[in-house]
């Protein structure tokens, strides 16, 4: 079965499930997008490597990558290989001592690990045909969810970054948020720093 390579477009709030997010994957050589509904914790696990944030302590996927590295297990690729009753199934393809091993995984975990290991993500045409959304080239700009640098996790109940003060003070707030493992707040502060730096 032919594989189709995907890239991560971004995360958006789910229009169908409260408190959920849509992970949007796009075929690299086409105009179809694949939305996968995931939870908030899963969205955060994906957003952290996309936003190039470094947690003060390793999160689960960071720990798993360290485990793989420590035991010389190489992740070659991730494949979203099946769709059953609206649920996506994925596998992580690894190599250890020349032997290929396939591990079953949730699609969100597979993508989070693929981003950390910097390996390609694939799917099959039948999945894109049944669950994909076609984006017309004319509508591409208006339908963009934003680059990975613009991805945010909902933090409506979190303290907003203080809009006063210098970039140095914001960088201090950013470091404090990372030390407290408040990645939602850290993301907002980082975006504010980036916004000010572009002025």
pLDDT tens by residue, 23-37: 999 999 889 999 999
Per-residue model confidence (pLDDT) at position 147: 37
pLDDT tens by residue, 112-166: 999 999 999 999 999 999 898 887 655 544 344 433 333 444 433 344 444 556 7
pLDDT tens by residue, 48-79: 998 888 888 889 999 999 999 999 999 999 99
Per-residue model confidence (pLDDT) at position 71: 96
- Which helix (H) or strand (E) segment holds residue 100: the answer is strand 99-106
pLDDT tens by residue, 183-195: 667 767 777 777 7
pLDDT (mean) for 102-110: 97
Asked if 160 contacts 154 with a C-beta cutoff of 8 angstroms, the reply is: no
- Residue with the bigger pLDDT between 18 and 110: it is 110
Residue 121 CB contacts under 8 Å (≥ 6 apart), including other chains: 5, 6, 7, 8, 25, 77, 78, 79, 80, 110, 111, 114
Q: Where are the domains of the chain?
A: 3-150, 155-199
Per-residue model confidence (pLDDT) at position 160: 46
3 state DSSP class of 182: coil
Region of poorest pLDDT, from 35-39, 76-80, 94-98, 193-197: 193-197
The Cα–Cα gap between 170 and 127 comes to: 44
Region of poorest pLDDT, from 79-83, 85-89, 160-164: 160-164
Per-residue model confidence (pLDDT) at position 14: 75
The answer to whether residue 101 scores a pLDDT higher than 50 is: yes
Per-residue model confidence (pLDDT) at position 161: 47
Among 3.40.50.10470, 3.40.50.720, 3.10.690.10, 3.20.80.10, what is the CATH number of 3-150? 3.10.690.10
């Amino acid at each position: 079965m032919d594989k189709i390579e995907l890239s991560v477009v971004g995360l958006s709030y789910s229009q169908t499930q409260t408190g959920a997010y849509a992970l949007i994957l796009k075929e690299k050589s086409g105009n179809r997008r694949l939305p996968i509904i995931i939870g908030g914790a899963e969205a955060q696990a994906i957003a952290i490597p996309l936003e190039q944030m470094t947690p003060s302590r390793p999160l689960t996927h960071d720990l798993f990558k360290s485990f793989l590295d420590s035991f010389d297990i190489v992740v070659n690729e991730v494949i979203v290989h099946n769709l059953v009753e609206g649920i996506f199934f994925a596998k992580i393809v690894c190599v250890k001592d020349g032997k290929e091993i396939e591990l079953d995984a949730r699609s969100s975990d597979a993508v989070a690990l693929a981003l950390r290991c910097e390996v390609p993500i694939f799917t099959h045409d039948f999945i894109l045909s049944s669950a994909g959304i076609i984006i017309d080239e004319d509508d591409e700009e208006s339908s963009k969810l934003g680059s990975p640098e613009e991805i945010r996790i909902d933090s409506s109940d979190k303290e907003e970054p203080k809009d006063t003060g210098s970039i140095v003070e914001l960088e201090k707030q950013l470091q404090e948020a990372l030390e407290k493992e408040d990645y939602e707040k850290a993301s907002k502060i980082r975006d504010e720093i980036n916004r000010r730096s572009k002025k």
